Amino acid sequence: MTRTVGDFGLTCGTLPAGAKNSITDVPGVRVGHHTLREGDINTGVTAILPHAGNLFRRKVTAAAHVINGFGKTIGLTQVRELGAIETPILLTNTLSVGTCATALIRDAIRQNPDIGRSTGTVNPVVGECNDGPLNDIQALAISEEHALAALADAHEGATEQGNVGAGTGMSCFGFKGGIGSASRKLKLGGGDHHLGVLVLSNFGRAGDLILPDGRRPDPRQEAEPERGSIMIVLATDVPLEHRQLERVARRAGAGIARLGSFWGHGSGDIAIAFSTGNVVDHDEPRDLVPQMTLNDARIDMLFRAAAEATQEAVLNSMLSAVAFTGRGGTHRTSLADWLDGQSRAG
């Protein structure tokens, strides 16, 4: 059962959530998972599709922001240079990034046989976190077929959260972490728009977590140096240019800071943002292309939405995650169980 901040009377900020309180509140965005759990293998793949069409042909404007760069992502250099994403985004464990990138390349070639021959090559985008404490990461269990299964599972419904997909073996602030999502509804230009966030949470020292009501949950686990990571994917249907998206992605850092994170030396904290409001045509014949974009004087609303939805998505990842015993008997308790215990004690 998915449990979220609302089930525990917690509130992250002031903006209203979307109908699903998920990144899939942004029209067209789809999320899929493939989960592996057998013995010491506890890992998976999560796929985020900006739209259901051919992304190589119809790219979305995008940006990335590196809060702390202890990470092994693929594709961010070109995203930051050209301001577009042309494949789905895959999230997985640290040692499976190359496999997932190959799967994205093969899938793009299948849809576009001219890639690398009569047109350019393709830039796969893959993010990662290290699930080694709960998963036998050296087993290299993720295959291209698993990555394609996550793509095939992608849908527009509410996002499954917690111990699923890439989040299967993740830890957060000493508790079980994983996949989490949240959204904010915005009024702009006389209509409704959304900003949604999906996180892969695997960061934070035990004992450092701060809830929105000020409580500091104790996982009863010895605090170790901050060596985890978080991948944050932000999506919006507000038409934004590359520069604006990078500014919005940067505000995701405010969301994780509200939780007590200080982005330690060994933490990889990376945000990727895209807008479905502007599409880049790979085969555009015109020299000059018109583009709608947000008035910078209105961008504070998106900054607030990014911080609030990121904070809530991380908490949702932990509240949806159930207690978990992984590789070698390593155990992570559930934040929801801790809060339930507090309620009984009160």
Catalytic residues: 229, 267, 269
What's the rounded Cα separation, in Å, for the pair 79 and 139?
A: 30
Q: What is the largest CA-CA distance in the chain?
A: 68
What's the rounded Cα separation, in Å, for the pair 179 and 33?
A: 10
Cβ–Cβ < 8 Å for 180, 198: yes
| Residue 170, C-beta contacts closer than 8 angstroms, at least 6 positions apart | 129, 131, 134, 176, 177, 178, 200, 201, 202, 317
Tokens of 120: 């350019």
What's the rounded Cα separation, in Å, for the pair 250 and 253?
A: 6
What's the rounded Cα separation, in Å, for the pair 49 and 169?
A: 22
- DSSP class of 16: P
Name the phi and psi angles at 314, rounded to 5: -65, -45
Burial class (CB in 10 A: 0-12, 13-18, 19+), 286: exposed
Name the phi and psi angles at 251, rounded to 5: -70, -15
Q: How far apart are the first and last CA of the chain?
A: 24
Residue reference for tokens 């990461």: 137
Residue reference for tokens 């990889």: 268
What's the rounded Cα separation, in Å, for the pair 135 and 216?
A: 27
Residue 24: name the closest of 274, 273, 196, 150 by CA.
196
Tokens of 183: 């959204």
